[in-house]
Amino acid sequence: MAKPSTRLNVAPVPPDEIFALNGAYGADTHPQKVSLGVGVFRTDDGKPWPLPVVQKAEKELVADDDLFRHEYTTIEGDVPFLRLARDLMFGFEGKDSEEEAKARIASVQTVAGTGANHLGALFLGHHMKPPTVWLSNPSWANHMTIWELADVPRKTYPYYHAATRSFDFDGMMSTLETEAQEGDVVLLHACAHNPTGLDPNKEQWVAIADLCERKNLFPFFDSAYQGFASGSVAEDAWAVRYFFTRKPDMEMCVAQSFSKNFGLYGQRVGAYHYVTNRSSTSLRDVVVNNLCHLIRGEFSMGPRSGCSIVKKVLTNDQLTAEWHQDLQVMSSRIKSMRKALYDELSRLQTPGTWEHIVEQNGMFSYTGLTPKQVYALKDQYHIYLLKSGRASISGLSQKNVAYVAHAIDNVVRNVN
């Protein structure tokens, strides 16, 4: 008889809430069930929507019949793809000193945005050894896990003002001003903050950039929704581009995902960009070299098929134009569902204020519902959202929005 292991020092960890919730939704047989948990785009019929331009690109790739399509790339990834990803994020069109600007950016391919966040945390943890990483409160739950695994001490700055259901800009600035130390990392959501849907305005972004520069903090942007949030890739990258162009003596980095804006959730397409200051461009190749060292020890190189789709689209003017149209379709549907939910709650005269639903941005809404109310929605109405009250607006449709609003109205009135 085999002896039980005495070498492992392990204990159960809580299951990931989003994937556990999605599993519970899948097992539910109720005909009116609604999934407002997982962050994926859905049509008004509740079905996946492979982007039409992605389907075109896939057909063209099949027709190309590239004999090397299943071969290895390089450790840093598909280099032409990385150039396209970099230019999409930082925007160089027609600007003076374009080559000098590009020389500041070290780019490698990653396993989607999660992999970019992880690689960035690991790289900074090894080579910069920040005293602390500052995460917004609340933030994407996986941020905490990623930085914990990188063994970097974690603190949070205020972000959400519960009483007004608004962005707590004053709380954020005050905390970072008084408590953040030189060399700390500050994680910033480039747009469509997850989970609140609340973003700084441009004036506030300018103030955040000034604070990071003055206190010598290191900005780490997580860009998961470029083009998906507003429908404009330039607008959704405004903060990143401002930091890059207006603070050339400040180093920073960006974790870039193509999951949402290309609908390539399972293809795991991403990039990590480390930006040197303008006087240290000679470090770029050394940074890439060290990032490749970490990549080689983890996954050798990024997946090929998804980045080939992105590359096919972004190297063809017609396909690029069609992609921008697809972005408008997705962002417009999200906005229309926000308004539909708000209008229905207003019609029902649901207690409380609900303007935040239409004032927030992107896929998610921080509804303001309490954990008890969230559990009641699941148990009584088979509506699934995170216990924090975060709802994925994409799960709403013209067919279920009235049902969801009625359920919210009921639990707000009856569940404290």
What confidence tens digit (pLDDT) does each residue in 355-364 have? Answer: 999 998 888 8
pLDDT of residue 222: 97
Average of pLDDT values for 288-310?
Answer: 94
Q: Which CATH architecture has domain 17-50+332-414?
A: Alpha-Beta Complex (3.90)
Residue 344, pLDDT > 90, answer yes
Q: Which residues pair with 160 in a beta bridge?
A: 167
Tokens at 189, concatenated: 């959501």
Catalytic residue among 260, 311, 312, 378: 260
pLDDT of residue 295: 96
CA atoms within a 13 Å half-sphere pointing along the CA-CB vector of 155: 15
CA-based nearest residue to 386, from 16, 40, 28, 42: 16
Residue 299, pLDDT > 70, answer yes
pLDDT band at 326 (very low <50, low <70, confident <90, very high): very high
pLDDT band at 10 (very low <50, low <70, confident <90, very high): confident
Average of pLDDT values for 51-60?
Answer: 96
Q: CA-to-CA distance for 354 and 343, rounded, in angstroms?
A: 9
pLDDT of residue 310: 97
212-253 residue pLDDT tens? 999 999 999 999 999 988 889 999 999 999 999 999 999 999
Catalytic residue among 49, 134, 140, 323: 140
pLDDT of residue 2: 62
pTM of the model: 0.93
pLDDT band at 323 (very low <50, low <70, confident <90, very high): very high
Tokens at 236, concatenated: 């959704």
Active site annotation includes 222: yes
Active site annotation includes 134: no
More confident residue, 288 or 12: 288
Let me know if domain 72-315 sits in CATH 3.30.420.40.
Answer: no
Dump strand ranges (E) for 345-403. 364-366, 383-384, 390-392
60-119 residue pLDDT tens? 999 999 998 998 999 999 999 999 999 999 998 655 568 888 989 999 999 999 999 999
Residue 322, pLDDT > 90, answer yes
pLDDT of residue 95: 56
pLDDT of residue 4: 63
Catalytic residue among 222, 236, 311, 326: 222
Average of pLDDT values for 344-365?
Answer: 91
Tokens at 18, concatenated: 């989003």
Q: CA-to-CA distance for 205 and 391, rounded, in angstroms?
A: 25
Active site annotation includes 317: no
Which residue do the tokens 């404009």 mark? 232
Question: pLDDT over 90 for what percent of the chain?
Answer: 77
pLDDT of residue 5: 61
Q: CA-to-CA distance for 249 and 342, rounded, in angstroms?
A: 44
Average of pLDDT values for 287-301?
Answer: 95
The domains of the chain are located at: 17-50+332-414, 72-315
pLDDT of residue 97: 67
Q: What percentage of the chain's residues is helix, strand, coil (to nearest 5)?
A: 45, 15, 40
